[in-house]
Amino acid sequence: MAVVGCGTSLYMAQAYAALREGAGHGETDAFAASEMPPGRRYDRVLALTRSGTTTEVLAVLDRLAARSRRPRSPPTRTRRCPARPTG
Protein backbone atom coordinates (compact mmCIF):
# COMPACT_ATOMS: atom_id res chain seq x y z
CA MET A 1 0.00 0.00 0.00
CA ALA A 2 1.09 3.57 -0.61
CA VAL A 3 -0.07 6.69 1.21
CA VAL A 4 0.51 10.13 -0.31
CA GLY A 5 0.06 13.66 0.93
CA CYS A 6 1.59 17.13 1.06
CA GLY A 7 2.52 19.24 4.04
CA THR A 8 0.68 18.17 7.19
CA SER A 9 -1.06 15.42 5.21
CA LEU A 10 2.36 13.97 4.37
CA TYR A 11 3.21 13.76 8.08
CA MET A 12 -0.11 12.02 8.68
CA ALA A 13 0.67 9.63 5.79
CA GLN A 14 4.05 8.78 7.33
CA ALA A 15 2.48 8.16 10.74
CA TYR A 16 -0.26 6.00 9.21
CA ALA A 17 2.28 3.97 7.23
CA ALA A 18 4.39 3.31 10.32
CA LEU A 19 1.38 2.32 12.42
CA ARG A 20 -0.06 0.07 9.70
CA GLU A 21 3.23 -1.76 9.21
CA GLY A 22 3.81 -1.96 12.96
CA ALA A 23 0.40 -3.59 13.41
CA GLY A 24 1.34 -6.27 10.87
CA HIS A 25 -1.04 -5.19 8.08
CA GLY A 26 1.58 -5.28 5.33
CA GLU A 27 4.20 -3.11 3.76
CA THR A 28 3.16 0.52 3.56
CA ASP A 29 5.10 3.31 1.87
CA ALA A 30 4.47 7.03 2.42
CA PHE A 31 5.41 9.64 -0.17
CA ALA A 32 5.05 13.30 -0.83
CA ALA A 33 2.53 13.25 -3.67
CA SER A 34 5.04 14.82 -6.06
CA GLU A 35 7.61 12.12 -5.17
CA MET A 36 5.50 8.98 -5.70
CA PRO A 37 7.38 6.70 -8.13
CA PRO A 38 5.37 6.58 -11.36
CA GLY A 39 6.30 3.02 -12.31
CA ARG A 40 5.74 1.34 -8.96
CA ARG A 41 2.55 -0.70 -8.56
CA TYR A 42 0.52 -0.82 -5.37
CA ASP A 43 -2.62 -2.78 -4.49
CA ARG A 44 -3.97 0.31 -2.77
CA VAL A 45 -3.14 4.01 -2.67
CA LEU A 46 -4.53 6.30 0.00
CA ALA A 47 -4.31 10.00 -0.77
CA LEU A 48 -4.61 12.41 2.13
CA THR A 49 -5.45 16.06 1.58
CA ARG A 50 -6.98 18.59 3.93
CA SER A 51 -8.54 20.81 1.27
CA GLY A 52 -9.21 18.26 -1.48
CA THR A 53 -7.65 20.68 -3.97
CA THR A 54 -3.92 20.01 -3.53
CA THR A 55 -2.50 20.04 -7.06
CA GLU A 56 0.13 17.33 -6.49
CA VAL A 57 -2.37 14.94 -4.88
CA LEU A 58 -4.90 15.48 -7.66
CA ALA A 59 -2.18 14.78 -10.23
CA VAL A 60 -1.37 11.43 -8.56
CA LEU A 61 -5.06 10.51 -8.49
CA ASP A 62 -5.44 11.44 -12.16
CA ARG A 63 -2.38 9.34 -13.07
CA LEU A 64 -3.72 6.36 -11.11
CA ALA A 65 -7.18 6.70 -12.65
CA ALA A 66 -5.69 6.77 -16.16
CA ARG A 67 -3.61 3.68 -15.39
CA SER A 68 -6.62 1.80 -13.98
CA ARG A 69 -8.44 2.14 -17.31
CA ARG A 70 -5.78 -0.10 -18.84
CA PRO A 71 -6.26 -3.87 -18.87
CA ARG A 72 -4.90 -5.80 -15.87
CA SER A 73 -4.67 -2.75 -13.62
CA PRO A 74 -6.42 -2.57 -10.25
CA PRO A 75 -9.51 -0.36 -10.26
CA THR A 76 -9.22 3.14 -8.86
CA ARG A 77 -11.89 4.55 -6.61
CA THR A 78 -11.85 8.01 -5.14
CA ARG A 79 -13.95 9.33 -2.35
CA ARG A 80 -13.91 12.95 -1.38
CA CYS A 81 -15.36 14.07 1.90
CA PRO A 82 -16.70 17.60 2.03
CA ALA A 83 -14.73 20.06 4.12
CA ARG A 84 -16.17 20.67 7.55
CA PRO A 85 -15.97 24.10 9.10
CA THR A 86 -13.78 24.30 12.18
CA GLY A 87 -14.69 26.08 15.36
Residue type, 51: S
Reference 50, options 1, 16, 84; nearest CA is 84
Dihedral (CA of 51, 56, 62, 63) sign: negative
| Residue 75 DSSP code | -
Which residues are registered as beta bridge partners of 5?
A: 32
pLDDT, tens digit, 9 for 90 and up, residues 22-76? 999 999 999 999 999 888 888 889 999 888 788 898 898 888 888 777 655 555 5
Q: Could you give the maximum distance between any two Cα atoms of the chain, in Å?
A: 46
Ranked by mean pLDDT, the top range of 8-12, 49-53, 77-81 is 8-12
| Assigned superfamily of 2-68 | Glucose-6-phosphate isomerase like protein; domain 1 (3.40.50.10490)
**Domain parsing of the chain, residue ranges:** 2-68
**pTM, two decimal places:** 0.76
